[in-house]
Amino acid sequence: MELSRRGDYAVRAMLDVATRPADRMTVTKEIALRQDIPPIFLTKIVSSLSQAGLLRTYRGVAGGVALGKPADQISLLQIIEAVDGPIYINRCLIRRGECDRDRTCPAHELWVQAQGELLGLLANKSLADLARRAQELQQAPMAGFAA
């Protein structure tokens, strides 16, 4: 019932990229430093994000990583599923027929509902939303306590 480290790292890494000046690339090692993520592990995560089209990567001396598409077209769900595969909150939701009780199990219905709400939330939150919010938080860390 807990997000994997990989998923958490992926979100933070994407947010890191999204909040840098868009015209300059950054480099995986620097993201790792800033976000306190094991560097070699992050290269794997970046690779998954790249394969999903969420990051674009460039090899070589002047290489690095940049967003693969506009931040408002990247959902949190996409990020997490890129590194962890499809989310399901119970085994019986992996695919229809996984559990032979589907039709008569009231718990099954509950999992369907809970999963729907969770995925909905993550699908409707974009990286752009988070980046915007990051800026607010940085400019007014004490928001709510202003004189």
Partner DNA sequence: GGCAAATAGGATATAATTTATCCTTTTATG
Partner DNA sequence: CATAAAAGGATAAATTATATCCTATTTGCC
Which does residue 59 touch among its own copies, DNA, none (CB within 5 to 8 A, set by kind)?
DNA
Which does residue 39 touch among DNA, its own copies, none (CB within 5 to 8 A, set by kind)?
DNA
The footprint of DNA (CB under 7 A) covers: 4-6, 9, 27-29, 38-41, 43-44, 46-47, 50-51, 57-65
Q: Which long-range contacts (CB under 8 A, 24 or more apart) does 16-20 make?
A: 17/55, 17/65, 17/66, 17/67, 18/67, 18/71, 18/127, 18/128, 18/130, 18/131, 19/131, 19/134, 19/135
The footprint of its own copies (CB under 8 A) covers: 1-5, 7-8, 11-12, 15, 76, 80, 84, 87-92, 103-107, 109-111, 113-114, 117-118, 121-122, 125, 129-131, 133-134, 137-138, 141
